[in-house]
Chain A
Amino acid sequence: MGIWVFAEEISGAPSPGSLELVSKARDFGDVSVFYVGAGSDEAWAALGDHGATAVSHLDTGSTLPSGPAAAALAELVGDASVVLFGMGNTDRDVAGRLAAKLGKPVVANVLDLSVDGAVSVKSEILGGTKAVTTEITTDGPAIVVTRPKAFTASPSGGTAPAVTTVASPDSGRAGAAAITEQHSEDSDGPSLEAADVVVSGGRGLGGAEKFEMMDELAALLGGAVGGTRAVVDAGWVPYSYQVGQTGKTVKPSVYIACGVSGAMQHLVGMKGSNTIIAINKDPEAPIFSVSDLGIVGDLHEVVPQLIEALKARA
């Protein structure tokens, strides 16, 4: 038995999502973490502080992690009840490969789970309009992919976990992909996922240069800038800005959507925000159905006025 959490190293630390999962997993017993990355004493301390009792550490170097990580995990999790993953790209890669190796199903978009003999999960389907409760009826580990921020990261004050180094398994052709270059597109200011205010731009902005206006507004509010997939696909902002089903999930105090239509794949990533403000010229835009305050108007007028008013107060 036991519960495993997959943790990818991001910028030298366990991914924020993995700490949320470790915190939740404490409810079900001893938590083992499978950690992929260079690793460090700080990383082990962070995992221990959130409740991990054991860490298996695999450093895949310049190999794309999914092949070797799935092969190594398959050897470790045989009698586990649950293996928890987040929605990160590498999380999904490893979860899929592991499931196929073990012949086990994956339940995804999970918002809650209970492990009480049987494993039962609650997930959202159809763009978050319906909630499904599913019971997993196979023996052996249930592979569960959870939505970001479904659980809260909460330190338990635990001590450093026991760390075991995992030797890189021979994963054959599955492990034949190599990372040859890494590019970081980090932005200034608070991270999108942690920011208290998020200013988000959609295709209605009309062009990449209009994101300067978003930057200015965000700076005045001490917030971060996000965007829709449409503006990411158009190359106006990097993918790290994307909010939604295939991007980041944010739950700030205030979310300001400018020129965002409110497609269901976007709403999934932001409708948990405390207060939602939308500016859109189309009175029928679906974003208004989740907004606390909706302004039907031209963002190119409203946003500059808002910026001036905020500057005047500063």
Chain B
Amino acid sequence: MNIAVCVKQIPDPATPYELDDANHWVIRPEDQVLDDTDRSGVEIALQLAEATDGTVTLYSMGPSGSLQGVRQALAMGADEAVIVEDEGLKGSDALTTARILAAAIQQKGFDLVVAGTESTDGYTGVMPQMMSEFLDVPCLSFARKVDAGDGQVTIERQTSTGYDVVAAPIPALVTVTAGIEPRYPTFKGIMQAKSKPVTTMTAADLGVSQDATQVIRSVEPVPAREAGEIVEDDGEAYQKIVALLEDRKVI
């Protein structure tokens, strides 16, 4: 099975994010990391590829920088990566991102596309669904478990009350939650990742252009909630909780 996995390089979430003053875009350093949400997608793709003697190709849009994040996914075991990088794509919204990634994936063809449910830095949370429309495939979303074989993909889809089992013929697109435990790259994997093929493309190569559809009027800090009393437990701290519950009239 030929599997395409969408991955995103993001600024290390442990560092505070800065926005540039002119456009309010997230400032992206040279060294970006693989979005944690994508690790589960890479893991699922690797498992399915191993079971079917298939291939795993990574697709990513954004400034490649040092490629650190993409190499992290290659080190897990993906075969190759395609990056779409273009000055003109800076500040793209989910719709443009979906057009670009769908066009890149279409060029090589696919049986299954795997994506996370949303990125950690932008979290619009609808990009994979848009991509599925551009690729004209069903979108099996919010999967906490994925099985594929015999031309069919089956998932357990999270719902607000439990989960549904959903099945569709291949080709299809799947979005995965973090319920799937990703593997750690091995030392060998890290070494091999350095020489795996990474192809770079521009929007023009794909015949896609960005259309400005929204204007940011202002960005303001949200007032932080004020921290209250912090106490070290001395064996009696539970009484403070009881007193507060009384005060708030819940007991």
A residues in contact with B181, CB < 8 Å:
233
| B221 x A129 contact (CB < 8 A) | yes
Please tell me if B144 contacts chain A, counting CB pairs below 8 Å: yes
User: Roughly how many angstroms separate A311 CA and B171 CA in the complex, as a whole number?
Assistant: 57
A302 interface residue per 8 A CB criterion:
yes
A306/B227 contact (C-beta < 8 A), A97-B133, A120-B217, A135-B214 known? no
Cβ-closest chain A residue relative to B144:
A239
Q: Which residues of chain B come closer than 8 Å to A125, judged between CB atoms?
A: 122, 219
- Given A64-B138, A176-B138, A302-B237; A294-B231 close (CB under 8 Å): yes
Contact partners of B128 in chain A: CB under 8 A:
96
Asked whether any CB of chain B lies closer than 8 Å to the CB of A84, the reply is no
**Cβ-defined contact, A132 with B24, below 8 A:** yes
Distance to closest chain A CB from B160 (angstroms)? 6
Report Cα–Cα, A64/B127, bound state, in Å.
18
A113 to chain B, nearest CB (A): 13
> In the docked arrangement, what's the CA distance between A290 and B239, Å?
20
The answer to whether the Cβ of B110 comes within 8 Å of any Cβ in the partner chain is no
Please name all residues of chain B whose beta carbon is closer than 8 Å to the beta carbon of A293 when the two chains form the complex. Answer: 228-229, 231, 240-241, 244
Task: State how many angstroms separate the Cβ of B174 from the closest Cβ of chain A.
Answer: 10
| Interface residues on chain B, size class | 35 or more
Who on chain A is nearest to B99 by CB?
A100
Nearest residue, chain A, Cβ from B37: A246
Whether A88 and B129, one on each chain, are in contact in the complex, defined by CB atoms closer than 8 angstroms, is no
A-side contacts of B230, CB under 8 Å: 283, 288, 291, 294, 296
A108 and B123 contact, CB distance less than 8 A:
yes
- Chain A contributes a number of interface residues (CB within 8 A of B) equal to 100
Nearest-neighbor residue (CB-CB) of B117 within chain A? A246
Pairwise interchain contact B215-A135, C-beta atoms closer than 8 A: yes
- A120 contact set on B, CB distance < 8 A: 217
A residues within 8 A CB of B79?
none
With known contacts A136-B213, A137-B214, A309-B238, A11–B161 Cβ distance under 8 A: yes
**B70-78, B162-170, B183-191: which lies at the interface:** B162-170
- Asked whether A76 is an interface residue with its Cβ less than 8 Å from the other chain, the reply is no
**Residue B137 at the A interface, CB < 8 A?**
yes
Chain B residues closer than 8 Å to A175, beta-carbon distance: 138
A133 near B218 with CB under 8 A, answer yes
Instruction: Kindly state the separation between the CA atoms of A306 and B241 in the bound complex, as whole angstroms.
Output: 8
Can you list 11 A-B pairs, Cβ within 8 angstroms, ordered by A? A89-B158, A107-B214, A108-B123, A133-B217, A176-B138, A283-B232, A290-B225, A296-B232, A297-B237, A306-B242, A309-B242
Listed from nearest, the 6 A-B pairs whose CB atoms lie closest are A96-B129, A297-B233, A96-B126, A100-B133, A292-B228, A185-B162
